[in-house]
């Protein structure tokens, strides 16, 4: 029963390191977040503009389009509200990609070296390696452009570097 | 959950928790409070005490509420009261603020209605034969009025000054004497709000932020679990891991965090940390774990490794709520050696795992791998 075995069914090569990968809410599109902008080819072989977010057709794995967040390395990406990818970057940028339009719809600067993120309710928590804190962003009611920078939480061990974050509420 | 409407006929035999909560009696009180027989029944054991229910929401200003009562076991002079109360308005000489149907031997009053106010307790006599009826409590401005229904007409029991503070409404049975006999029971039915504005309480949500950090060496790291209320960390606990954490992911029920952790001195491992008490309940030696991903159905953990493998661990729940934490031996996905797995993603519904390795620069090849529910052999098909 070959169909029941783990089987490699496809591959895709990128000329820059992949920092994160995610799927649109309906899984029809795959979002690849790169360490640095890279060119790619679409299904017809046309060269797409260099971008550090490559959007692929999940079924065919052809690249549909490319986007650019800040050119500095992407560190993590998280799908929020079943619509927006919040993308953290090493230069302290928080870039937001709308999966309905495949556009960068917001870019804010919590600052530091943003390394990881998670969400609880209406608050996005972001690990800042540079300042050894967890930043928060309160999600706006009218979309990412109404997001508001929240408080920063310390309480992390001194002389350590936060590398991962998991947040939940109850 | 809180309902901003309070009308309850108690007919579904299950207390509506969005409207009511059960009062917490004083320690040692023997009682039962149950919505049954299409009404709310309250029974008390002997001695001083009380039991009943209280609304979740509060009336912020004027209100007019009423309820039916039935005295199910009500001997003469039993030293108990059935009350439609306003528990957040304090107490007076007649007890907690509210309109009561009482039975006491003192004062010769015997069976009576009593409106308990901060500065008085006007009363109206009744008889032992009157075992059911209606109570009504009305606040208008700074005046509280208590009524009972006699025949088909509301009769005023009394009135007097009252605070305008917001208040919940209670339905309870209480004993006013330490020598009160047990087994007294009463029932409430058909609670109705005739007028008034209800305000639901503001709920406080705790947030739990679990972060992993390395210490700059190859053999140590930590996990910090902060409890956050609003903008304040109310509790914090740090657990030393004895290895360098690389990645963490949480089960869907928030009960466990799985952590990929490496240490040349102490061994590479996967740690399962129980979030309720930050205890490591499971450790599995596994080579060079770099990334962990809980499958969305909460039954499997995928572990990306520095040797290009992805190992699958069965983390499905046991009957006691713990997790199996067993490696599925024939479910290891093998990529080319040298591909350090840096990220994983699961395609919902498709049973496909996206594996992101980091080979030697300059290029990265992402792999899409089928991820079946069962398999007999480890096998990789190249396309």
Contacts of B271 in chain A (CB under 8 A): none
Return the percentage of chain A with pLDDT > 90, whole number.
75
Judged by CB atoms closer than 8 Å, whether chains meet at B246 and A164 is answered as: yes
Chain A: residue whose CA lies nearest to B311: A6
B positions 270-289 inside 8 Å of A (CB): none
pLDDT of the residue at A15: 60
**Contact (CB, 8 A) for B370 and A9:** yes
Residues B149, B17, single domain; the answer is yes
To probe the interface with A, which of B211, B225, B241 has the most A CB atoms within 10 Å?
B211
As a whole number, mean pLDDT of residues A131-135 equals 93
Sign of the CA dihedral A115, B218, B310, A36? positive
> What's the number of domains chain B is made of?
2
Contacts of A11 in chain B (CB under 8 A): 365-368, 383
Chain A: residue whose CA lies nearest to B222: A157
Domain assignment present for A153: no
Domain assignment present for B180: yes
**Of B199, B215, B245, at which residue does a domain stop?**
B199
**Contact (CB, 8 A) for B333 and A5:** no
Say if pTM beats, i.e. exceeds, 0.80. Answer: no
Residues B195, B224, single domain; the answer is no
Tell me whether B343 touches chain A (CB under 8 Å).
yes
Ordered strands of the B352-358 beta sheet:
A8-14, B364-370, B352-358, B340-347
Integer angstrom CA distances of residue B279 from B208, B227, B241: 15, 16, 11
Residues B141, B228, single domain; the answer is no
Residues B216, B193, single domain; the answer is no
- Kindly indicate the confidence band of residue A123, based on its pLDDT and cuts at 50, 70 and 90: very high
Judged by CB atoms closer than 8 Å, whether chains meet at B370 and A9 is answered as: yes
Phi, psi dihedrals of residue A3, rounded to the nearest 5°: -65, -20
> What's the number of domains chain A is made of?
1
Judged by CB atoms closer than 8 Å, whether chains meet at B380 and A8 is answered as: yes
Domain assignment present for A80: yes
Phi, psi dihedrals of residue B229, rounded to the nearest 5°: -120, 115
Domain assignment present for A120: no
Specify the CATH number for the domain of residue A97.
2.130.10.10
Q: Does residue A55 have a pLDDT over 60?
A: yes
Judged by CB atoms closer than 8 Å, whether chains meet at B381 and A11 is answered as: no
Residues B245, B155, single domain; the answer is no
**Of B180, B199, B218, at which residue does a domain stop?**
B199
Residue B204: both structure tokens together: 């406080």
Contacts of A27 in chain B (CB under 8 A): 347-350
Closest CA to A55 of A67, A43, A38, A69: A67
**Radius of gyration for chain A, computed over Cα atoms and rounded to the nearest angstrom:** 17
Tell me whether A3 touches chain B (CB under 8 Å).
yes
How many CB atoms neighbour CB A101 within 10 A? 9
Specify the CATH number for the domain of residue B141.
2.60.120.200
Enumerate the β-bridge partners of residue A117: A126
Enumerate the β-bridge partners of residue B257: B250, B273
How many CB atoms neighbour CB B276 within 10 A? 10
Tell me whether A160 touches chain B (CB under 8 Å).
yes
pLDDT of the residue at B1: 61
As a whole number, mean pLDDT of residues A142-156 equals 92
Q: What's the rounded Cα separation, in Å, for the pair A81 and B153?
A: 56
Q: Does residue A31 have a pLDDT over 90?
A: yes
Q: Could you say which residues of chain B have pLDDT below 70?
A: 1-4, 106-109, 203, 330, 335-338, 349-350, 359-365, 370-383
To probe the interface with B, which of A27, A166, A167, A170 has the most B CB atoms within 10 Å?
A166
**Contact (CB, 8 A) for A2 and B365:** no
**Radius of gyration for chain B, computed over Cα atoms and rounded to the nearest angstrom:** 32
pLDDT of the residue at A16: 67
Integer angstrom CA distances of residue A157 from A125, A162, B214: 17, 9, 10
Residues B193, B231, single domain; the answer is no
pLDDT of the residue at B365: 66
Domain assignment present for B183: yes
Residues B120, B248, single domain; the answer is no
What average pLDDT is seen over chain A?
90
Domain assignment present for A93: yes
Largest Cα–Cα separation, chain B: 98
Kind of pairing between the strands at A114-120 and A123-128: antiparallel
Domain assignment present for B380: no
Instruction: Select the residue of B209, B345, B367 nearest A11 (Cβ to Cβ).
Output: B367
B47: closest CA of chain A, how far (Å) = 39
Q: What domain range is B252 assigned to? A: 206-330
Closest CA to B224 of A27, A18, A132: A132
Residues B81, B191, single domain; the answer is yes
Domain assignment present for B54: yes
A–B interface: beta-carbon pairs under 8 A: 191
Chain B: residue whose CA lies nearest to A10: B368
Tell me whether A158 touches chain B (CB under 8 Å).
no
To probe the interface with B, which of A3, A8, A54, A169 has the most B CB atoms within 10 Å?
A8
> Could you report how far apart the first and last alpha carbons of chain A are, in Å?
44
**Contact (CB, 8 A) for B347 and A58:** yes
pLDDT of the residue at B188: 97
To probe the interface with A, which of B230, B364, B376 has the most A CB atoms within 10 Å?
B364
- ipTM of the predicted assembly exceeds 0.90: yes
Contacts of A2 in chain B (CB under 8 A): 379, 381
Domain assignment present for A141: no
A105: closest CA of chain B, how far (Å) = 24
Residues B93, B20, single domain; the answer is yes
Residues ≥6 apart with Cβ < 8 Å to A141: none
Judged by CB atoms closer than 8 Å, whether chains meet at A121 and B226 is answered as: no
Judged by CB atoms closer than 8 Å, whether chains meet at A8 and B214 is answered as: no
Domain assignment present for A164: no
Contacts of A5 in chain B (CB under 8 A): 370, 372, 375-379
DSSP code of residue B120: B
Residues B147, B232, single domain; the answer is no
Judged by CB atoms closer than 8 Å, whether chains meet at B367 and A10 is answered as: yes
Specify the CATH number for the domain of residue B260.
2.130.10.10
Domain assignment present for B369: no
pLDDT of the residue at B69: 97
Chain A: residue whose CA lies nearest to B237: A155
Integer angstrom CA distances of residue B88 from B59, B137, B163, B256: 10, 14, 10, 40
Domain assignment present for A150: no
Residues B178, B238, single domain; the answer is no
A positions 116-155 inside 8 Å of B (CB): 116, 118, 120-121, 123, 125, 127, 134, 150-151, 153-155
Which of A19-28, A63-72, B1-10 bottoms out in mean pLDDT, i.e. has the lowest? Answer: B1-10
**Of B169, B199, B229, at which residue does a domain stop?**
B199
DSSP code of residue B323: B
The number of CA neighbours under 13 Å toward the Cβ of B359 is: 16
pLDDT of the residue at B106: 64
How many CB atoms neighbour CB B233 within 10 A? 15
**Contact (CB, 8 A) for A121 and A86:** no
DSSP string, B160-192: EE-----B--EEEEEE-STT--S-EEEEEEEEE
Q: What domain range is A105 assigned to? A: 2-113
Instruction: Select the residue of B206, B364, B380 nearest A14 (Cβ to Cβ).
Output: B364
Residues B306, B238, single domain; the answer is yes
Integer angstrom CA distances of residue A98 from A40, A110, B123, B297: 21, 19, 68, 26
Judged by CB atoms closer than 8 Å, whether chains meet at B370 and A151 is answered as: no
Q: What's the rounded Cα separation, in Å, for the pair A105 and B117?
A: 60
């Amino acid at each position: 029963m070959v169909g029941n075995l783990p089987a490699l069914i496809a591959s895709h090569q990128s000329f820059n390191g992949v920092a994160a990968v995610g799927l649109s809410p309906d899984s029809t599109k795959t979002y690849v977040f790169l360490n640095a902008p890279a060119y790619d080819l679409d299904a017809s072989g046309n060269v797409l503009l260099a971008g550090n977010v490559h959007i692929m057709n999940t079924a065919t794995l052809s690249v549909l389009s490319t986007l650019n967040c800040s050119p500095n390395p992407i560190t993590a990406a998280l799908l929020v509200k079943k619509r927006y990818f919040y993308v953290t970057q090493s230069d302290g940028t928080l870039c937001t990609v709308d999966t309905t339009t495949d556009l960068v719809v917001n870019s804010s600067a919590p600052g530091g070296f943003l390394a990881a993120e998670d969400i609880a309710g209406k608050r996005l928590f972001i690990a800042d390696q540079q300042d050894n804190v967890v930043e928060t962003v309160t999600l706006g009611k009218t979309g990412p452009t109404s997001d508001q920078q929240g408080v920063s939480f310390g309480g992390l061990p001194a002389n350590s570097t936060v590398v991962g974050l998991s947040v939940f509420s109850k | 959950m809180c309902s901003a409407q309070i009308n309850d006929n108690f007919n579904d035999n299950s207390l509506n928790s969005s409207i009511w909560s059960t009062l917490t009696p004083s320690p040692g009180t023997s009682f039962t409070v149950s919505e049954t027989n299409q009404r709310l029944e309250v029974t008390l054991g002997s001695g001083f005490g009380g039991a009943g229910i209280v609304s979740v929401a509060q009336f912020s200003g004027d209100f007019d509420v009423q309820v039916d009562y039935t005295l199910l076991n009500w001997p003469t002079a039993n030293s108990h009261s059935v009350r439609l109360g306003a528990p957040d308005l304090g107490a007076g000489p007649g007890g907690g603020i509210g309109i009561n149907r009482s039975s006491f031997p003192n004062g010769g009053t015997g069976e009576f209605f009593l409106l308990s106010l901060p500065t008085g307790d006007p009363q109206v006599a009744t008889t032992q034969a009157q075992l059911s009826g209606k109570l009504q409590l009305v606040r208008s401005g700074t005046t509280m009025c208590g009524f009972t229904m006699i025949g088909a007409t509301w009769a005023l029991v009394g009135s007097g000054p009252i605070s305008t503070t917001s208040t919940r409404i209670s339905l309870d049975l209480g004993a006013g004497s330490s020598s009160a006999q047990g087994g007294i029971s009463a029932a409430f039915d058909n609670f109705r709000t005739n007028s008034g504005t209800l305000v639901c309480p503001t709920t406080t949500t705790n947030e739990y932020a679990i972060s992993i950090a390395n210490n700059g060496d190859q053999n140590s790291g930590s996990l910090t679990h902060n409890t956050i209320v609003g903008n304040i960390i109310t509790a914090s606990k740090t657990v030393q891991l004895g290895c360098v954490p690389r990645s963490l992911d949480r089960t869907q029920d928030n009960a466990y965090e799985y952590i990929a952790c490496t240490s040349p001195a102490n061994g590479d491992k996967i740690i399962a940390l129980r979030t309720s008490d930050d205890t490591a309940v499971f450790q599995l030696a596994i080579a060079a774990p770099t990334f962990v991903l809980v499958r969305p159905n909460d039954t499997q953990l995928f572990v990306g490794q520095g040797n290009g493998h992805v190992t699958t661990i069965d983390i499905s729940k046991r009957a006691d709520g713990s997790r199996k934490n067993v490696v599925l031996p024939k479910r290891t996905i093998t990529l080319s050696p040298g591909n350090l797995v840096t990220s994983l993603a699961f395609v919902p519904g498709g049973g496909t795992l996206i594996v992101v390795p980091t080979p030697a620069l300059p290029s990265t090849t992402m792999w899409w791998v089928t991820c079946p529910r069962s398999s007999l052999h480890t096998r990789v098909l190249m396309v």
